[in-house]
Structure 1
Amino acid sequence: MFVLGVLLVLLVLQLSESSLQINQYLQGGVSAALESRVSRMNLTVAQGSTARLSCNIRNIEDDGISWIRLKDYHILTNGQVTYTRDARFSILHSPGSGEWSLQIVGVQMRDAGEYQCQAATSTGTITLSTVLHVANPQARILGSREKHGKVGDLVQITCELRDNVGTPEFVFWYHNQTMINFQTGVRVTTSIIGPDVSQLWLASPNTTMSRLDIRRTRMEHAGEYTCAPSNSGNDTIRLYVSADSSLSFQQLEQSSSLTSSNGGQTHLLFISGQISCLFLLLKFVF
């Protein structure tokens, strides 16, 4: 019985020690390893923006972690040292923290691809992959490439930004080469819209609409208008202003169409008369 009691005490002590080691193991470097062993992540950013590829691993040496670009197997960083001449790449790390994020400023289409954060720990090498997708959204001014108005009218020009990665920080409007967002007589309204089942037109997700209102159009308002968002390509249209306030552009188009139609009818009557004369001549001869 005495021997059995001693064995039981030793077993309890061993279990307690093992439990303590497991807790220390999970709270130390291995917890970082478990935290980093996740499935491959996807990150989508707009061209020209800043991308931050996350890597959070604790309790490792500064030179024990590296970022690798897989498409050319280029080692971009090791610890806090950068091994590329491209100044857009840098490492984000604060002493004592577990953050080892890779930052890419001014992302370009060529930066798309897979990046790996590799860390050497006491339990082996930990790898965290991030696939970077670079979007190139484009602005599009709705309607035709040429718009027409008359002096004194309210002119509205609407710009659509589809499939954006986040909300644009700003949408600037230009008249020729001059930014006009804050000019007197001009108002710019920018908002994010979503699908509206009550409308025939359904906006796609992450659609931003920016509208330019020119309250009282003058002759000097004629020219090119450009919609220039912060994270998208630009789009430009031309505005023509008519000095005749008594006749709208639509009426001018209808008048031109009617003139063309009447001209066609006159031409048909002329041909019909020629054919009749030809028949009479043939009847007289024969």
Structure 2
Amino acid sequence: MVSENIKIFIFTFHLLSSTQVSWLKRDEDHILTAGGQVYSSESRYSVSHVRHQKLWELSLRDVRLTDAGLYECQLTTHPPTSLFFTLKVVEARAVIQGAPEVHVQTGVRLRLHCSVEQATEPPIYIFWFHNGSMINYAPRRPLKVMKHNFGSSLIISNVTWDDAGSYRCEPHMAEPANLTLHVVAGKWRCGGSPFCQNEIMREKHAALHNGQNDVTGEETVPTSGSAHLFNAPLLIGYLTLILGNYCFQTLSSHWLRRL
């Protein structure tokens, strides 16, 4: 796996103690080591020999995708002996279910799951970030992080406007994954009341001023006191119309009786 360290062992039992081992990258026709000497210009290779165990060890640090290929181990026996092996290198990556965008309502329970694919072993850690800040150990946030073998779950028990924004799942030695969370008003809160909708917009506007990004694409309503009276002119117009109509009918009846 990319960024890992690997070691390749070979034992020379039943062979003469003078037997030497050489390592080659066969598909590039490149000599890596001969005996205890490293000939590769790549400093990530090293070789060791434990004589009493008749053990030869080739080490490669910080594995890269370009290290994949056919390798050969040559022994100075008579006749010469060669062992071949193929190194396959994979690049682990994180995947968040539902990415790249998820829409949720306020007040619901949300579970974001991140899995690590093509990993040769479980990652040491998996960090979650919200708008650039790590939240695995955030004490004042009502959330919970649960780590699994090859994954992690982020659970938000009660979604609010503050939870909107970008999320990143970043495992050890794996490509991170990103997701954008859009938060919209929960239908259960208002029941069609315009005043309740206005309160929701005020909460949303306050969340924006607290440093959160609005990702719902909805227009915010100013939080001034006049926002609560947005229906007042319409109400006054209705009252004026009703009163004028009543006065007209009264005057008309009075003049008709006189005639």
Q: Distance in 2 between matches of 1:176 and 1:94?
A: 51
Q: Distance in 2 between matches of 1:154 and 1:62?
A: 68
Q: Is the alpha carbon distance of 1:95 and 1:176 closer, same or farther for their aligned partners in structure 2, counting shifts above 3 Å?
A: farther
Q: Distance in 1 between matches of 2:172 and 2:24?
A: 30
The corresponding residue for 1:219 is 161
The corresponding residue for 2:147 is 190
- Residue 158 of structure 1 deviates from its aligned partner by 1.0
RMSD of equivalent CA atoms: 2.7
Equivalent positions of 1:117-266 (< 5 A) are 117-121=73-77, 123-184=78-139, 185-192=142-149, 208-242=150-184, 246=189
In structure 1, the residue corresponding to 2:162 is in which secondary structure?
Answer: helix
Q: Distance in 2 between matches of 1:105 and 1:247?
A: 59
- Residue 151 of structure 1 deviates from its aligned partner by 4.4
Q: Of residues 18, 21, 24 in structure 2, which corresponds to 1:65?
A: 21
Match of 1:132, as an amino acid?
A: L
In structure 2, the residue corresponding to 1:173 is in which secondary structure?
Answer: strand
Q: Is the alpha carbon distance of 1:130 and 1:101 closer, same or farther for their aligned partners in structure 2, counting shifts above 3 Å?
A: farther
- Contact 1:60–1:120, Cα closer than 8 Å, also in 2: no
What fraction of aligned residue pairs are identical, expressed as a percent?
A: 27
Paired positions, count? 188
The corresponding residue for 1:77 is 33
Q: Is the alpha carbon distance of 1:63 and 1:223 closer, same or farther for their aligned partners in structure 2, counting shifts above 3 Å?
A: farther
Q: Distance in 1 between matches of 2:162 and 2:50?
A: 56
- Residue 60 of structure 1 deviates from its aligned partner by 4.9
Match of 2:171, as an amino acid?
A: P
Equivalent positions of 1:18-37 (< 5 A) are none
- Contact 1:153–1:217, Cα closer than 8 Å, also in 2: yes
Q: Distance in 2 between matches of 1:98 and 1:247?
A: 78
Q: Distance in 2 between matches of 1:156 and 1:120?
A: 59
Structure 2, unmatched stretches of 5+, are 192-196, 198-259
Q: Is the aligned partner of 1:97 residue 2:53?
A: yes
Q: Comparing 74-83 with 49-58, which one deviates more in the overlay?
A: 49-58
The corresponding residue for 2:68 is 112
Match of 1:65, as an amino acid?
A: V
- Residue 120 of structure 1 deviates from its aligned partner by 0.8
* TM-score normalised to structure 1 length: 0.58
Match of 1:99, as an amino acid?
A: L
- Residue 214 of structure 1 deviates from its aligned partner by 2.2
1:137-177 deviation line (CA, Å, top 9, x unaligned): 33211114222334444321111233432222222212232
Q: Comparing 228-237 with 150-159, which one deviates more in the overlay?
A: 150-159
Q: Distance in 1 between matches of 2:146 and 2:116?
A: 13
- Contact 1:63–1:78, Cα closer than 8 Å, also in 2: no
